[in-house]
């Protein structure tokens, strides 16, 4: 059964971000808050080993696309 949660003393900046995100996603503030909570809690719930395995798999998929030297060059080019 769903439970009600009341949030108090939300900083203005956080409220504005939540409201903007809700409008962008065409959700109510309540729905947007639930989505944000789910994403934050699910992200921290995955074991470190699982996150590392996903990162390694992604790195393997991208091998040959960019080398470490390419990335360093691109980062340096973006700096004044």
CA separation, residue 54 to residues 50, 51, 59, 60 (Å):
6, 5, 9, 10
pLDDT tens digits, 27-49: 999 999 999 999 888 877 778 88
Q: In this predicted structure, what is the pLDDT of residue 29?
A: 94
pTM attached to this predicted model: 0.54
End-to-end CA distance of the chain: 56
Per-residue pLDDT for 79 more than 70?
no
Q: What number is the average pLDDT over the span 16-36?
A: 95
């Amino acid at each position: 059964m769903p439970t009600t949660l009341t949030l108090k003393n939300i900083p203005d900046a956080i409220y504005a971000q939540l409201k903007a995100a809700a409008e962008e996603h065409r959700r109510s503030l309540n729905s947007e808050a639930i989505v944000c909570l789910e994403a934050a809690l699910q992200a921290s719930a995955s074991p470190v080993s699982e996150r590392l395995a996903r990162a390694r798999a992604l790195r393997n998929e991208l091998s040959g696309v960019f080398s470490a030297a390419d990335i360093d060059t691109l980062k340096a080019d973006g700096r004044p």
